[in-house]
Chains A and B, each alone.
Chain A
Amino acid sequence: MNWLRLFRPGDWLLALLSVLVCVATIPFAWQHGNGERAIVRRGGDVVAELDLSRNQRIDVIGPIGTTVVAVDQGRVRVASDPGSHQYCVRQGWLKRAGEIAICAPNQVSVQVEGRNKAYDSLSY
């Protein structure tokens, strides 16, 4: 039996429409998952944009040493920093849009950004 003969004219139309819907929805896969990422700056210049849905670590070399920024399960933190007070390291995990950790001595900052900016910055 010829399978194609089972299609009626309207069936072709609907199949075509379905394929068009599929093509139209492809961009959904390219939006940043939860729309959240971490912006890493050194001396005010953006050095990296980290997708929070992908676990990763990066080293940022500043004036007094290396700051390590780690992303894990949708959160980001400064894993280690050469600064004497360790404020940014002790701040721990950041996950909400607007939260920021600043390692002033090494001039490195990590800020979480969401798709819509709810706050200019958050600190505790």
Chain B
Amino acid sequence: MTRSVTNLTTTPEDHRIARLAAAAIGLSLVDAAIPMPLPGIKPGLANIVTLIVIARHGWGAAVWVCLLRVIAGGLLLGQFLSPGFFMSLTGALCSLAVLAIASRLPKRWFGPISWSLAASFAHIGGQLLLARLWLIPHDGLYYLVPFFTAAATVFGIINGLIAARLIAEHPSFSTQDPHG
């Protein structure tokens, strides 16, 4: 029997992304535990991490953190490859696409709150579209649109505020990192 050793070399960047993704996964578990009156409405606390990563490390790192969180979060919650997983993946991809634009807006005018609002609306928009096309192909779904937009507004502002505050209070929490 031959033994083979595979060495994976990891960069400080990898460590940072892994740590941030772990924080996001933790928050998505908290998210899943919060009871909500309507199916499909969640605070989306894990997106606070995405916003902080954008501010600190740029959009590219945020894509990694966000997608790792969706996949690992799906595995942990037992919904990997289930409809719920595809809903969350669609929401993540749509909000990342919008964030690519939003995060390039002039920082003097648009901060994490703007990013958060743009992302939450993209999230709910993408999910609504997927649900209408695939999961619940019925116009009755549009009945819930006002509740979704209200949730996107409220949680978009709250998550944006939390992210903005964390970024303002810890201007250097990426450099405090012992690994990177």
Contact = CB atoms under 8 A, between A and B. Distances in A.
A binds B: yes
A6 B167 CA distance: 10
Contacts of A124: none
A18 B145 contact: no
B139 A15 contact: no
A31 interface: yes
A73 interface: no
A26 B146 CA distance: 5
Given A21-B121, A33-B140, A6 B109 contact: no
Interface stretch (B10-18, B47-55, B155-163): B155-163
Interface residues of B, number: 33
A11 B149 contact: no
A25 B118 contact: no
A11 B111 contact: yes
B3 interface: no
Contact of B146 (A3, A8, A25): A25
A10 interface: yes
B142 A14 contact: no
Closest 6 CB pairs of A and B: A10-B109, A10-B110, A11-B113, A6-B164, A18-B153, A28-B145
Interface of B: 105-106, 108-114, 117-118, 121, 138-140, 142-147, 149-150, 152-153, 156-157, 160-161, 164-165, 168-169
Interface of A: 1, 3, 6-11, 14-15, 18-19, 21-22, 25-26, 28-29, 31, 33-35, 53, 115
